Structure 1
Amino acid sequence: MKVKEVADLVGISVRTLHHYDEIGLLSPDQTTESGYRIYSQANLETLQQILFFKELGFPLKKIKEIITSPSFDRNEALELHRKMLLEKRKRLDQMIRTIDKTMRHTKGEIEMSNEEKFEGFDFSHNPYEQEARERWGDTAVDESNAKIGKMSKEQQKALEEEFDLLYKELASIRHEPADSDVAQEGIKRWYNYLNRIGNYSLDAFKGLGQMYVDDVRFTKNIDKYGEGLAVFMRDAMAVYADKNKD
């Protein structure tokens, strides 16, 4: 199949397939003398595998590492995909039930306990952890998880409250220049907070700030504290990192 035929079959863009080829993730088995990419059935099976991983939130770099590993087993991967998707469906089904009950509660048809209002939410697994590992390695993430895991529930709650307070403080100064004293003092507290639970270099700190803007998931969550907060934090974190390298 030619690239346009594959794109139409799968529902992705030709540019995406070209990108997969450019980064060595999926290269067609044949290329004609006139330059047309020709995809084999084996290529299509690999593409299916790539898209399963992508649906589950794996970054392309990690997908490439997995599927090019000598130990990669397609059947084992499919079993893993199925298990993870079933878990995802179970959680989504619970959240839909919570929404339905909340709608009835809002209309006065039923009463909901506080516990019922949050059924289906599960933040025990950080959806961004894989990306953090890809960008900065395992050390900072593992150290952070280990430190938090050793804390009591009261200590973890205090940490969450401090996190919330820090974001509210940063939101209150988000209209200040990123290099102003007040902005730098606020972002310094954020840097110190992160390094109490992990081990972030100045470069990692700056990169994290950039991800706040590059990744719409981060931007959406951060900007709940105030529109434009993600951009402000990115700029202030970059200034802080650059200044303190000297």
Structure 2
Amino acid sequence: MTGDDTRGGPPADTDGLTVGRTANLVGVSIRTLHHWDSIGLVSPSDRTWAGYRVYSNEDIARIHRVLVYRELGFELAQIGRILDDRGVDATEHLRRQRGQLVEQIDRLRSMVGSVDRMLAAAREGMRLTPEQQVEIFGTDWRPEWVDEARQRWGDTTQWAQYSERAAALSTAEWEQVASETRAFEADLSDAKRSGVEPGTAAANALAERHRALMSTYFDCTHAMQVCMGRMFVEDPGFAEHYDKLAPGLAVWLREVLFANARANGVDPATAVWE
């Protein structure tokens, strides 16, 4: 020990503060102050008549400056160099750091605004009534599919993207999306019936059209398409939908998506939702 009591020491007969009282004042641990003392960052410069080391007003001011720089992300060694360098204008240095903090605060506020908009969209989602959904997407459409999808994917980034984008689409824009989807599925069925092979240029073009359609709702990668291709076959609802358009279409579409993914550097055997 160096003469100071880790519990605060006896009352000092100077204007200085013992390590315990200093720790309480500035909001750090006694252990932290001991460490700063050991590395020469901040050391108590005064002593009581009994030999107890105490922090002067200047020492306390230095501690506060250390805390500011530490909050800004500086390493302790760097802080020490700044504080001890007589050539450094500490006030100007802090002024620059303040400017950087203000910029960071502005960026964070912008991010908070974006998150708030995403949360609002997640609560709102598709603004079409069930009747409008059936009118736009056809009599085979079931409005409860949206709730089922939310339960399955509601905690994913892609669902947050879908919710935000869906909330922004007008009725006319939904009608356009539905029209493009029907046209795509018609071309998909025609390609299957005419014997288009997965991996050919025509099949890959259809796969990219599918990805573009999905990207209306969220940023769809080739790996995600692979996962969707599996789902189109394994999920009875999806399989029934596609096979009603053309016999065997669900399996064929899966193979088309798999082949296009391979052409774009994704192995369907190991692809995950990312």
TM-score (norm 1): 0.47
TM-score (norm 2): 0.42
- Higher normalized helix content (fraction of residues): 1
Question: Which one has a bigger Cα radius of gyration?
Answer: 2
